[in-house]
Structure 1
Amino acid sequence: MNLKSGIAKVAGKSSYWFLHNVLKGGTSFPGKFAMKIDPEVLNSLAKGYETIIVTGTNGKTMTTALIVEALRKKYGDILTNPSGSNMQQGIVTAFLAHKNKKAKKKIAVLEVDEANVKMVTKLLHPSVFVLTNIFRDQMDRYGEIYTTYQKIVDGIKLAPNATIIANGDASIFSSVELPNKKVFYGFKLPDDKAENDFKAPVNTDGVLCPKCDHILHYHERIYANLGDFFCPNCGYHRPELTYSVNQIIDQTPNSLKFKMGEKEYSIGIGGTYNIYNALAAYSVAREFDLSEEEVAQSFAENKRIFGRQELINYAGKEIDLILVKNPVGLDEVLHMLNTEKDNYSLVALLNANHADGIDTSWIWDADYEGLNKDKIKKVLVGGKRWHDMGFRLEVAGFNPGLMTTATNNDALLDEISKLPTKKVYILATYTAMLSLRKTMGEKKIIKAGM
């Protein structure tokens, strides 16, 4: 460690201590401050760590949390960025905050923003890349899915000895020739579905063959563009899977049971998309020599993470706070809500800040029309773009007489306390979720910070 990086490390740690012990927050400023002194401080901080990078459009935070929980079973303390602050400054902060508890092996499991993979890889030299999926997301920032994947590939090319653990059901992830060892995971179908031949619905993005641009066909489609794909034109098809889910046993908004091989696994969270996240974590854990029993135990013990189906008790309500940020993720959340057996109230919060993506047209691509409206006894809309959100729900067939508007968080919490149901689902974009959690922290409804 040179003098510059040493000063940057001390300055960053000091600012982290002050922010978290005096101001009770701050997930990226310490890293930003340290990088001002030494732009390559991450290179020094990460020395000696075996690093796993988790990236992709949806599921990064949950997949990272599941991997960390599993690896702790065998290796003890794991360095990670649990707040989801996944750009370079947030990752530097994660290293500055780590207390270096006793561990069998120094491992860092880091969620990394897709556009930051290259610059982070330059400094971290990861040993594993975990790729979740690529969907349309923040088009003003990322562009099309092929542009997003190229950003990831540019980073992977800097680490040719790293292992790639990728979602084999996503056609884009096996489309580029790379020298890295590859491990694919996905849904393994019953033999009776192997002869199926159909296309995805017309509005599904990412269904052109990456090799010849012909429309892909499927033996089975799990959701969006994920599934057992094949191209009838050039023969491109899903790669061989190393790890797979072969049965979904049961789903509710708050639980999942599924089988991998002959063993049953369960996690206390809903949504088919979270089975993929669990499968990604399982694949990493098995590559790191964990037993199936250790993985199953870690899944059963997994805790909810902030904003990702986070359970909050307030005013006698059971609130489920769920981050939504793009059409595919939102659609899957809506499908999950249709597994709810009880009546509930729906809260929809829409912001259009830079971190959300300033274009809100994506809400029109999600299937609000398909929600079981008989179960929804009240709708509450909020966020800076509450008017757009309310109009979208009216078009989807919700009765305006059942809809209420809250233009700030104080009003929102007051309206939530008056909702007619015990169960409340809040679907919020990123900055709306952070803002609401901040207000809840200030009011002691939840613990302040992340």
Structure 2
Amino acid sequence: MSLRSTIAITVGKSAQWFLKTFMKGGSSYPGKLALKIDPKILDHYSDLYEVVVVTGTNGKTLTTALTVNILQQQYEEVLTNPTGANMVQGIVSTFLSAKPKKNQKNFAVLEIDEASLAKVTEYIKPELFVFTNIFRDQMDRYGEIYTTYRLIVEGAAKAPAATILANGDSPIFNSLATVNPRKYYGFDHQPDHEQMAHYNTDGVLCPECHHILHYKMITYANLGKYYCPNCGFSRPELDYKLTEMREMDNTSAQFVIDGESYGIEVGGMYNVYNALAATAVAEMYNVPPAKIRAGLAYDEKVFGRQEIIDIDGKQCTLVLVKNPVGLNQVIDMIGLSPYPFSLVALLNANYADGVDVSWIWDGNHEAFAEMAIPAVIAGGDRHTDMALRLKVAGIAEEKLTEVPDLDTVISEIAKLPTQHVYILATYTAVLQLRKKLADKGYIKGGMTRG
């Protein structure tokens, strides 16, 4: 280690200790300080850690958490960025808190925003990139899906020796040549059956000839066993396969990957993909199936991912929603519920949410009108837009209450007619709600994502 790196680490750790001790938080400021002293400080940590980066539109947080849980069954030091600090200074702050072990493998599993990846890989060279999916999301920030994919391919190219482990069921991940070697995971659990994606689905044009793709199996949206009948473009051979879906409900799933039975304690097909990605990472690092099972079964809900919160006797499931595909998967998951429930929909339009809320019109809110939900609350900064969307979807006006203030939302939840409540909220609405719930003593902490 160079003298400059030593000084940078010492100053960064000291700042981190001070902030945590006296300010009750670490923030990314220590990383910013360390970077000013030594812009190449991450070179030092790259030598000490096997770095795995998880990126994509949906599923980053849970895939990261599951991967960490699994690797912790095998390795003593597995570092991650649970607060979602994924800019360079935040990554440095994450490493400053680490205690790498000598003479053994140390892992860093980092969740990185798609738009941030190329900036982060200027400073650190991962061994593995995990690509979850690319869906239309916050057009004002990311642009259309092919622009987003180019961003992450360019980011990965700065670490050309690193393997890309991509969702093979997503056509976009087979649309560009990459300098990085690639492996694929995906579903292979149904017999071939000729079909096409729903007409309101993005990303179903063949990247070679622009013909509409056909499918022999679809899991959801544009994911599945795709092929082009015009030019022969098709899904690549899968290296890691889910071959059987044994059971799935609104709170759990049981399945078979590469001949081994596994389960997770969250519901929905989209979360099975997250488990499949984490399992594929584990197989790449030769983690035994028994330890993979233990890691997947770890039942600690992460930020906004089906967290269960008791609000005055109501069992509330908090779910982050941020784009049409993710929303529709959450709606499908909710539809599997075996008990009556009420619904709370919180819509914000801050920068971190995406300021354009037109995406809610592409979500299948009409499905809620078929679920016999006795009471619905529309809230958040854009409560009027949310209420209108639910009315157009077919929610009867006498069942719908529009509540602008989150304190009032919390008090109204206690009055709902069902014991179970689903709360769907955009990113900053989740942050604001959790902060208020923490202030009122319903949960511990309010702003962290882990």
- Considering the TM-score relative to the shorter chain, is it more than 0.5? yes
Secondary structure class of the residue paired with 2:122: helix
* Cα offset, 1:6, TM superposition: 4.3
User: Of the candidates 344, 348, 353, which is equivalent to residue 345 of structure 2?
Assistant: 348
Give the paired residue count.
Answer: 447
**Structure 1 residues 182-197: aligned runs within 5 Å:** 182-190=182-190, 193-194=191-192, 196-197=193-194
Secondary structure class of the residue paired with 1:221: strand
1:42 — aligned with what? 42
Determine if the alignment matches structure 1 residue 205 to structure 2 residue 205: no
Secondary structure class of the residue paired with 1:116: helix
Determine if the alignment matches structure 1 residue 275 to structure 2 residue 259: no
CA distance, structure 2, for counterparts of residue 340 and residue 85 of structure 1: 34
Determine if the alignment matches structure 1 residue 292 to structure 2 residue 289: yes
Determine if the alignment matches structure 1 residue 390 to structure 2 residue 399: no
* Kept in 2: contact 1:344–1:377 (CA 8 A): yes
* Kept in 2: contact 1:373–1:398 (CA 8 A): no
Root mean square deviation of aligned Cα: 2.0
CA distance, structure 2, for counterparts of residue 103 and residue 440 of structure 1: 44
Determine if the alignment matches structure 1 residue 266 to structure 2 residue 268: no
> Compared with structure 1, are the counterparts of its residues 292 and 376 closer, same or farther at alpha carbon in structure 2 (3 Å cutoff)?
same
1:323 — aligned with what? 320
> Compared with structure 1, are the counterparts of its residues 107 and 359 closer, same or farther at alpha carbon in structure 2 (3 Å cutoff)?
same
* Kept in 1: contact 2:369–2:394 (CA 8 A): no
* Cα offset, 1:4, TM superposition: 5.2
CA distance, structure 2, for counterparts of residue 119 and residue 320 of structure 1: 35
> Compared with structure 1, are the counterparts of its residues 333 and 66 closer, same or farther at alpha carbon in structure 2 (3 Å cutoff)?
same
User: Of the candidates 345, 354, 359, which is equivalent to residue 357 of structure 1?
Assistant: 354
Could you list the per-position Cα deviations for residues 281-321 of structure 1 after superposition, in whole angstroms to 9, with x for gaps in the alignment? Answer: 00000000011222112111242112111111221111111
Secondary structure class of the residue paired with 1:123: coil
Question: 5+ residue gaps in structure 1?
Answer: none
**Structure 1 residues 51-450: aligned runs within 5 Å:** 51-100=51-100, 104-190=104-190, 193-194=191-192, 196-371=193-368, 373-448=370-445, 449-450=447-448
* Cα offset, 1:27, TM superposition: 4.3
Could you list the per-position Cα deviations for residues 206-227 of structure 1 after superposition, in whole angstroms to 9, with x for gaps in the alignment? Answer: 1111122111110011101100
CA distance, structure 2, for counterparts of residue 253 and residue 19 of structure 1: 40
TM-score between both structures, scaled by the size of structure 2: 0.94
Could you list the per-position Cα deviations for residues 249-307 of structure 1 after superposition, in whole angstroms to 9, with x for gaps in the alignment? Answer: 22222111112244321110011001110000000000000112221121112421121
Q: Identity, % of aligned pairs? A: 51
* Cα offset, 1:168, TM superposition: 0.3
Question: 5+ residue gaps in structure 2?
Answer: none
Deviates more, 1:293-302 or 1:328-337: 293-302
* Kept in 2: contact 1:117–1:152 (CA 8 A): yes
> Compared with structure 1, are the counterparts of its residues 178 and 374 closer, same or farther at alpha carbon in structure 2 (3 Å cutoff)?
closer
> Compared with structure 1, are the counterparts of its residues 322 and 32 closer, same or farther at alpha carbon in structure 2 (3 Å cutoff)?
farther
Could you list the per-position Cα deviations for residues 386-409 of structure 1 after superposition, in whole angstroms to 9, with x for gaps in the alignment? Answer: 111111111111112222233222
TM-score between both structures, scaled by the size of structure 1: 0.94
